[in-house]
């Protein structure tokens, strides 16, 4: 079976990690890359070619027109995702796009409709949901090992003070989708909606602005029948990244939940009942394997990361960021 040939749009740090993960992934290869600066793309191609030629382009349209690229991985700033995805869809290239796929619900609806109209495979690169430890947690829940889910807590927070030096960084720049909600709020939110396999019936939030006008901290409460989830995202302070899923019979914990390699099952007396450990250190390998399986199956949407969930998060981002802007 021939390899799936990837082209990478964007040549930054996350793209470099993806390129390294391709080397560890069966049935794939890096065929081409593109950046707005040709020198940058050429340097990326040289660094990640593994001794094989990788074509480099100085604009994204040339990458889309490469006949030897099967799928495009989009790793650019958030505000460019939708446009680059549309370029790929229009030439029939499968799309794997970094999270958050969209910055608002309008572009989400437009791009999703186009992909479905053209029958082009497309998936948000929410790697958390493809991790074996996450799948194990869901398996324990399906098997009733913690009873009915009643509470979930997940936080992704780090401290990146806004200084004269850092305020130009994308995380503090509103023009490129900076702020906590889009950059990291997607992790706890889609962690929860994946566990409960539905958007919340009610959504509550509090947002605190930073000095550049982006959202520095977002607290979200997701309300389900019989269950409540708390999600916290911040670029203004550190919090523990261990997620807990609590039920009527016990609970599950996952350290560094967004990239978890382990899952621990406890009863309500805090006794450890089971533990799962993933031996694969690079979690992107699981995301790539799932996407490749999607392409080889002939399907256009992932059952683990449906496009409806990307739209749902975009709608919640509309609410949070709309409140911030007044």
What CATH number does residue 144 fall under? Answer: 3.30.360.10
Pair (181, 275) in one structural domain: yes
Residue 173 lies in a domain: yes
Question: Encoding tokens for residue 124?
Answer: 């948000």
Q: Is residue 312 part of a domain?
A: no
Question: What is this structure's pTM?
Answer: 0.96
Q: How buried is 279 (Cβ within 10 angstroms: 0-12 exposed, 13-18 middle, 19+ buried)? A: exposed
pLDDT tens per residue, range 102-113: 999 999 999 999
Asked whether residue 314 is domain-assigned, the answer is no
pLDDT reported for residue 66:
98
- Tell me: do 250 and 275 sit in the same domain: yes
CB 220 within 8 A of CB 230: yes
pLDDT at 50: 84
One domain for residues 186 and 249: yes
| pLDDT score of 220 | 98
DSSP string, 2-44: PPEEEEEE--SHHHHHHHHHHHTSTTEEEEEEE-SSHHHHHHH
Using 70 as the pLDDT threshold, list the residues of the chain that sit under it.
Answer: 1
Q: Are residues 296 and 275 in the same domain?
A: no
Shared-domain flag, residues 61 and 17: yes
**Which pair of tokens denotes residue 236?**
């203004």
63 shares its domain with 167 = no
Tell me, what's the pLDDT at 318?
98
Does 203 share its domain with 151? yes
DSSP-assigned letter for residue 66: -
In the structure encoding, which two tokens stand for residue 59, read together?
């604009």
Question: How many domains does the chain fold into?
Answer: 2
Same domain, residue pair 67 and 97: yes
Owning domain of residue 96: 4-127+286-305
Between CA 286 and CA 38 the distance in angstroms is: 30
Active site residue ranges: 99
Q: Is residue 315 part of a domain?
A: no
246 shares a domain with 299:
no
Same domain, 23 and 54: yes
CA dihedral 300, 292, 98, 58 (to 10 degrees): -100
Pairing of strands 4-9, 71-74: parallel
* Residue 321, domain member (yes or no): no
Domain CATH code at residue 86: 3.40.50.720
CA 68/CA 5 separation, integer angstroms: 7
**Rounded-to-integer distance, Cα 54 and Cα 56, Å:** 6
- Looking at the structure, tell me whether residues 193 and 176 fall in a common domain: yes
- Whether residue 141 is found in the same domain as residue 254: yes
């Amino acid at each position: 079976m021939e390899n799936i040939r990837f082209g990478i749009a964007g040549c930054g740090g996350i793209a470099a990690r993806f390129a390294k993960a391709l080397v560890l992934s069966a049935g794939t290869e890096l065929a081409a890359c593109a950046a707005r600066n040709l020198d940058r793309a050429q340097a990326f191609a040289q660094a990640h070619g593994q001794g094989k030629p990788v074509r480099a382009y100085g604009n994204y349209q040339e990458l889309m027109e490469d006949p030897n690229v099967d799928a495009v991985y989009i790793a650019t700033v958030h505000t460019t995702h939708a446009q680059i995805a549309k370029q790929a869809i229009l030439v029939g290239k499968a799309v794997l796009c970094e999270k958050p796929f969209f910055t608002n619900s309008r572009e989400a609806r437009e791009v999703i409709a186009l992909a479905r109209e053209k029958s082009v495979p497309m998936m948000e690169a929410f790697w958390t949901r493809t991790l074996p430890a996450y799948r194990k947690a869901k398996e324990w829940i399906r098997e009733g090992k913690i009873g009915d889910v009643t509470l979930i807590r997940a936080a992704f927070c780090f401290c990146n003070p806004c200084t004269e030096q850092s305020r130009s960084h994308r995380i503090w720049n509103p023009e490129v989708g900076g702020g906590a909600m889009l950059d990291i709020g997607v992790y706890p939110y889609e962690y929860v909606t994946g566990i409960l396999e539905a958007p919340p019936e009610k959504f509550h939030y509090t947002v605190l602005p930073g000095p550049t006008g982006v959202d520095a901290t977002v607290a979200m409460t997701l309300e389900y029948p019989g269950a409540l989830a708390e999600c916290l995202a911040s670029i203004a302070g550190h919090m523990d990244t261990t997620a807990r899923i609590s039920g009527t019979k016990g609970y599950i914990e996952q350290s560094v939940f967004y990239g978890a390699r382990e899952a621990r099952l406890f009863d309500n007396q805090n006794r450890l009942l089971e533990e799962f450990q993933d031996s694969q250190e690079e979690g992107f390998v699981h995301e790539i394997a799932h996407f490749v399986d999607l392409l080889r199956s002939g399907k256009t949407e992932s059952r683990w990361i449906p496009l409806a969930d990307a739209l749902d998060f975009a709608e919640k981002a509309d609410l949070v960021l709309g409140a911030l802007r007044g």
